[in-house]
Structure 1
Amino acid sequence: MKHLLIGCALALTIGGHATMAQSSDTIYGLSASKVNKDELYKEIELFSEQNKEEAIDARVDSVWKAIPGYNGMEVNIQSSYKKMKANGKFDKSKIVFNQISPNIHLKDLPPEPIYRGNPEKPMVSLLINVAWGNEYIPTILQTLKDHRVKATFFFDGSWVKKNPKLAMMIDKEGHEIGNHAYSHPDLQQRSKADTLEEIKKTNDIIEATLGKKTKWFAPPSGSFNQNTIQVAHDLDMKTILWTVDTVDWRKPETSEMVSRVVSKVENGSMVLMHPTKPVAEGLKTMITEIKAKELRIGTVSDLMSEKRVENKE
């Protein structure tokens, strides 16, 4: 009996040691795993510190007037860690980024014209002012469609009244519609009341024809004064000018026009054009060469948005 008790005691002791050893391995195993996770977490934190980009506030520039803000960027450490923790190794392709909104937005600025987007945003907008040139519109629309580009068309109100089917064709293609006043006036010489009538009348006919409200206003010939800006602002609209002008109405040589325009285009540029022969002939090359500069092409709303553009075309 004594030997049996000793044997049992030894068995329990050995069993206890075995259990403790197994428990110790598990503890050390978890501890090692925890250490690996900590190292991974620290590596992600370091990457975050080195790759954070601060948001840029909207501002009024002395030359370019109102300039929209641009989102910053920071690493979402927790989400990035969660995606990598399975194998415990740092993988840049699994980094999750969050965009950081600016403190000051375009809507916070006083009434000012807009000539360009944020210079840090690799995007360009095509502004197509339409008051004449109907014969070139189908070619221009086809080129835009072929290259999957959306432009912002600014409609003269009297043109919409005379050409509702063309206006609907442009809208149906998914392009953005803006306001170009009603009768192509020289708004610098017009009263506040006249300007209000010109803009509002065009808004009304665009809404009646297309069922859409416009938020961007392009003064004819770029002629405006502070009253123009204020009237548009009071109608909850922003006044759009341009960064680069095709000067297509002067009927330049197509290749010369394209070369001159593309050479000037950069981050945030807005390119002014009309439905003219040089544009119809040169738009394909213009789009191709702008994209070759690793610039996206988007609408005015796309360009004015604070959303970051990371994947360049």
Structure 2
Amino acid sequence: MKIFLFKRVFLILGIISFVFLLSIFCKQTVFVTSYLNPIYQGNPDKKKVAFLCNVYWGEDILPEMLKIFEREKVKVSFFIGGIWAKKNPDILKMLYNAGHEIGNHGYLHKHPDRLSIKENEEEILKTEKIIEELTGYKTRLYTPPYGERGENVLRAAANLNYKTILWSIDTIDWQKPAPDTIIYRVIPNITNGAIILIHPMPQTLQALPELIKIIKRKGYQIVTVGEILE
């Protein structure tokens, strides 16, 4: 009888230990997987959207963009190219000091799918260093140039503990469409957690005031990419 009880207790303890270890493994697996999978959209349960602005040009546009965002009381996420930051330190500091989120957009806007894991890591780290030296902020979110998301790209970002951010709505504003076209590309596709890709283009600058107003009228809050992931 005692032997039977001992075996039973031993079996129960073994099952508990297995479940505990399995839970730890699963948590770690989910964590790693979340870094390897690109993020296209934020929290679908919250009525929030985010503007993701990729920056490799637009020195003349960005100060005017900031005025609009300040007037409308919204914060956005600027994903910065390293070479651009190096050439335009004062504008980068202006974006950061205005309270906007700063992300990493690689150094030279190379095609990341054509690079090795190590080369992708170098692109990210080089930009990270420049941004940190200029602002004191260490980037943790990465948007790959051209939206390329091959294995080497995702693995490099994950190795450096970066989340790879893409988007759910593309304004395609780099093709210089009319401001009304930019608005039309966004509004019918707005959903909870939408990430809206823009660039510092003259047409985008013209579209932003009306676009922000319509988004707000629809009951959405405009936040940073980091906040929309919460």
State the TM-score, normalizing by the size of structure 2.
0.85
SS of the counterpart of 1:119? Answer: coil
Deviation at 1:182, TM superposition (A): 0.1
- 1:222 is matched with 147
Aligned mate of 2:31, from 108, 132, 136:
108
- Give the number of aligned pairs: 203
Deviations 1:206-244 (A, max 9, x none): 001111101100001101311211111111110000000
The one-letter code sitting in structure 1 at the alignment partner of 2:115 is R
Shift in CA distance, 154/267, structure 1 to aligned 2, threshold 3 Å = same
CA distance in 2, matches of 1:243, 1:203: 25
Aligned mate of 2:124, from 199, 202, 225:
199
CA distance in 1, matches of 2:211, 2:29: 29
Shift in CA distance, 161/296, structure 1 to aligned 2, threshold 3 Å = same
- 1:285 is matched with 210
> Are residue 129 (structure 1) and residue 40 (structure 2) matched?
no
Deviations 1:243-293 (A, max 9, x none): 001100111010121122111111010000000011110111111111111
The one-letter code sitting in structure 2 at the alignment partner of 1:264 is N
Percent identity of equivalent pairs: 39
Residues 170 and 185, structure 2, Cα contact 8 Å, conserved in 1? no
Deviations 1:5-63 (A, max 9, x none): xxxxxxxxxxxxxxxxxxxxxxxxxxxxxxxxxxxxxxxxxxxxxxxxxxxxxxxxxxx
Deviation at 1:109, TM superposition (A): 5.0
- 1:244 is matched with 169
Aligned mate of 2:111, from 171, 186, 189:
186
CA RMSD of aligned residues (A): 1.6
State the TM-score, normalizing by the size of structure 1.
0.63
- Between 250-259 and 140-149, report the one with greater CA deviation: 250-259
CA distance in 1, matches of 2:197, 2:167: 6
> Are residue 163 (structure 1) and residue 63 (structure 2) matched?
no
Deviation at 1:107, TM superposition (A): 6.7
- 2:198 is matched with 273
| Structure 2: segments with no counterpart, 5+ residues | 1-25
1:254-265 equivalences in 2 (<5 Å): 254-265=179-190
> Are residue 301 (structure 1) and residue 229 (structure 2) matched?
no
> Are residue 174 (structure 1) and residue 128 (structure 2) matched?
no
- 1:145 is matched with 70
- 2:6 is matched with none
| Structure 1: segments with no counterpart, 5+ residues | 1-102, 306-313
SS of the counterpart of 1:203? Answer: helix
CA distance in 2, matches of 1:216, 1:258: 26
Aligned mate of 1:253, from 178, 195, 199:
178
CA distance in 2, matches of 1:148, 1:124: 14
> Are residue 232 (structure 1) and residue 157 (structure 2) matched?
yes
Structure richer in helix, relative to its length = 2
CA distance in 1, matches of 2:29, 2:123: 24
| Larger relative contact order, structure 1 or 2 (CA cutoff 8 Å, min sep 6) | 2
CA distance in 1, matches of 2:80, 2:121: 16
CA distance in 1, matches of 2:133, 2:203: 32
CA distance in 2, matches of 1:184, 1:260: 25
Residues 186 and 224, structure 1, Cα contact 8 Å, conserved in 2? no
1:83-102 equivalences in 2 (<5 Å): none
